[in-house]
């Protein structure tokens, strides 16, 4: 890989920081979610869930990154990473979302964090909104379904972009923007518990508008910065070569590409008209919206990639979809799955990168990829996570092939480079890290950090610029 390739890792505020009430921080969705089975119910029952009291809320302490970031950054530096993607907690700066000015204590925390990264020569990539719209806005306005949430986001986003201009060059406006159609509440649409399709697409429209406004703001005021969109990616394969299945796969792929099509091309694609008709989506589009979208197109396309998916046009088969995840899929007989039912498909990363690059011709950036697995320390406390090394190695190889295919790639960031709370399940036991954190699903443990076998392996990969994979 090229010398300036951004090798590194990724985390998010609501899954790592903890300190959920420190300073004046307001709450976000994760702060009212339990761990385990009940979490999926909670996503579907936003309002009912608010009345529940759980014995343990994993985000409240998370991995205590808020207090331990110096120690963690020192370990990441030792690993040799060149880039860390993290997010700013919106409600840490704007507790309800409606404040005019940010909370100074919160601002100071991020200033110190970015300074620490700078001193360690680690390039930050910052997500402005990673699944943590202030809970107050979710309750009061139904989240992004109401355009006022977009206005509050823009005030927050302009504040951080201006304040941290000296430290941060790469910004991602909204994490996995297509998630809103798969798990609406997680994506920030709580109106009607995320069950009204028009409200969901209205919320998505507001996110697209807000993202375009900030992108335009960045281009105008900070020409050295770059603004990117982000897709929860993974090509969708047809179950057979029957044209009906191929058509179904194309349709499902478009449902995800829709958002990135808007963010790259600055307009809704022609096929959206048919989606609207078929789903009976009624949207209210402002007079200026066309112009806003056109003027706020992104500089790069970032993506998370964990797996590919398989769909069929046969309703009978669709009843057998693997559920329990944000994305449902049929099993792929050629591939294995992780313990959480995620299909493991390294070649799929190459296919996805090629698809995206053909479509957008913009630099791509892998900002999440990794294997969620159970790690069991041996009698000496060592963690030999060869399965994670194998997964990552295969994906890096596939990525290198995509680059040989002609894809322009800015970097590779391994998700959850340090163990953190899983977003979908709230578990600690679904671990992604090259650094182990001693904590279980009920919050027991010392929070002590420990290098896994993969730590040294990734260190060698980066030092050799991806040459030394074995
Ligand atoms: C993405 C999110 C991350 C992260 C990751 C892994 O959807 O952007 O926040 O959590 O998926 O998913 P999980 O934590 O559910 O295993």
Chain segment 40-49, per-residue pLDDT in tens: 999 999 999 9
Per-residue pLDDT of 193-231, as tens digits, reads 999 999 999 999 999 999 999 999 999 999 999 999 999
Q: Which residues on neighbouring strands pair with residue 354, listed in sequence order? A: none
Per-residue pLDDT of 283-336, as tens digits, reads 999 999 999 999 999 999 999 999 999 999 998 887 777 655 678 899 999 999
Per-residue pLDDT of 439-457, as tens digits, reads 999 999 999 999 999 999 9
Is residue 163's pLDDT more than 90?
Answer: yes
Query: Which tokens in the block code for residue 93?
Result: 């700066």
3-state secondary structure of 372: coil
Which residue from 405, 442, 446, 415 is spatially nearest to 427, judged by alpha carbons? Answer: 442
CA of 424 from ligand 1 middle (Å) equals 6
Distance CA 39, CA 18 (A): 18
CA of 274 from ligand 1 middle (Å) equals 30
Could you identify the atom of ligand 1 that is nearest to the CA of residue 372?
16
Distance CA 401, CA 90 (A): 38
pLDDT at 322: 63
Instruction: Please identify which residue in the block is written with the tokens 């008709």.
Output: 277
Distance CA 70, CA 68 (A): 6
Query: Which tokens in the block code for residue 151?
Result: 């206005």
Q: Which residues on neighbouring strands pair with residue 322, listed in sequence order? A: 329
Distance CA 125, CA 85 (A): 4
Q: Report the Cα 177 to chain-centroid distance in Å.
A: 8
Taking each helix axis as running N to C, give the angle between helix 386-404 and helix 453-463, from 0 to 180 degrees, rounded to the nearest 10: 20
Residues with catalytic function: 176, 368
C-alpha pair distances (Å), 387 with each of 50, 59, 158, 373, 438: 38, 27, 42, 8, 20
Return the best residue to mutate from 63, 337, 417, 424 for the ligand 1 pocket (most ligand atoms within 8 A of CB).
Answer: 424
Distance CA 346, CA 390 (A): 10
Provide the Cα torsion 219, 147, 231, 369; round to 10°. Answer: 100
In terms of phi and psi (left: phi > 0; alpha: psi -120 to 50; beta: otherwise), the region of 445 is: left
Neighbours of 36 (CB within 10 A): 15
Q: Which residues on neighbouring strands pair with residue 28, listed in sequence order? A: 134
Distance CA 415, CA 435 (A): 12
Query: Which tokens in the block code for residue 409?
Result: 């790639």
Q: Which residues in 266-286 are b (16+ Cβ under 10 Å) and which e?
A: bebeeebeebbeeeebeeeee
Return the best residue to mutate from 128, 341, 423 for the ligand 1 pocket (most ligand atoms within 8 A of CB).
Answer: 423
What's the rounded mean pLDDT across residues 417-428? 97
CA of 366 from ligand 1 middle (Å) equals 14
Instruction: Determine which residue's CA is closest to atom 12 belonging to ligand 1.
Output: 423
Could you identify the atom of ligand 1 that is nearest to the CA of residue 424?
15
CA of 284 from ligand 1 middle (Å) equals 31
- Per the CB < 8 A criterion, the answer to whether 167 and 118 are in contact is yes
Could you identify the atom of ligand 1 that is nearest to the CA of residue 342?
16
Distance CA 447, CA 150 (A): 37
Per-residue pLDDT of 79-108, as tens digits, reads 999 999 999 999 999 999 999 999 999 999
What's the rounded mean pLDDT across residues 26-39? 96
Ligand 1 pocket at CB < 6 A: 12, 15, 175-176, 232, 304, 368, 372, 415, 422-425, 430
Please enumerate in sequence order all residues whose Cβ is within 8 A of that of 142, keeping only pairs 6 or more positions apart, or say none: 189, 190, 191, 192, 199, 203
């Amino acid at each position: 890989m090229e010398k300036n390739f951004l090798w590194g890792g990724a985390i998010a505020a609501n899954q790592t920081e903890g300190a959920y009430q420190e300073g004046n921080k307001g709450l976000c969705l994760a702060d009212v979610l339990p761990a385990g089975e009940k979490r999926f119910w909670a996503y579907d029952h936003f309002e009912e869930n608010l009345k529940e009291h759980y014995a343990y809320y994993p985000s409240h302490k998370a991995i205590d990154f808020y207090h331990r970031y110096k120690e963690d950054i020192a370990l990441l530096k030792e690993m040799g990473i060149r880039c860390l993607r993290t997010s700013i907690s919106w409600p840490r700066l704007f507790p309800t979302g409606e404040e005019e000015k940010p909370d100074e204590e919160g601002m100071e925390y991020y200033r110190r964090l970015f300074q620490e990264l700078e001193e360690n020569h680690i390039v930050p990539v910052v997500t402005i909104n990673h699944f943590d719209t202030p809970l107050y806005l979710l309750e009061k306005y139904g989240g992004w379904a109401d355009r006022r949430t977009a206005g509050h986001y823009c005030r927050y986003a302009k504040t951080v972009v201006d304040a941290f201009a000296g430290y941060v060059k790469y910004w991602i406006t909204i994490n996995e923007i297509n998630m809103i159609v798969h798990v609406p509440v997680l994506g920030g649409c709580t109106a009607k518990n995320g069950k009204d399709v028009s409200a969901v697409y209205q919320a998505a429209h507001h996110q697209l508008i807000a993202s375009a406004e900030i992108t335009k703001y960045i281009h105008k005021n900070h020409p050295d910065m770059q603004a990117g969109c982000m897709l929860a990616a993974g090509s969708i394969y047809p179950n057979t070569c029957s044209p009906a299945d191929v058509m179904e796969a194309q349709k499902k792929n478009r449902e995800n590409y829709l958002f990135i099509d808007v963010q790259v091309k600055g307009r809704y694609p022609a096929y959206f008209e048919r989606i609207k008709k078929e789903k009976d989506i009624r949207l209210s589009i402002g007079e200026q919206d066309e112009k806003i979208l056109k003027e706020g197109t992104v500089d790069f396309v970032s993506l998370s990639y964990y797996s590919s998916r398989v769909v069929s046009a046969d309703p009978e088969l669709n009843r057998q979809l693997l559920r329990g995840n944000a994305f449902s899929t049929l099993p792929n007989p050629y591939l294995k799955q992780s313990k959480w039912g995620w299909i493991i498909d390294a070649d799929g990363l190459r296919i996805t990168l090629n698809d995206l690059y053909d479509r957008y011709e913009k630099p791509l950036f892998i900002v999440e990829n990794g294997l969620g697995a159970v790690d069991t320390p041996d009698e000496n406390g060592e963690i030999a996570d060869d399965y994670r090394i194998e997964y990552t190695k295969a994906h890096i190889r596939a990525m290198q092939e995509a680059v040989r295919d002609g894809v322009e790639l800015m970097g590779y960031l391994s998700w959850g480079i340090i163990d953190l709370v899983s977003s979908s399940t709230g578990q600690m036991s679904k671990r992604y890290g090259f650094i182990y954190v001693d904590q279980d699903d009920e919050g027991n443990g010392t929070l002590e950090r420990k290098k896994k076998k993969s730590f040294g392996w990734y260190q060698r990969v980066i030092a050799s610029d991806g040459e030394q994979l074995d």
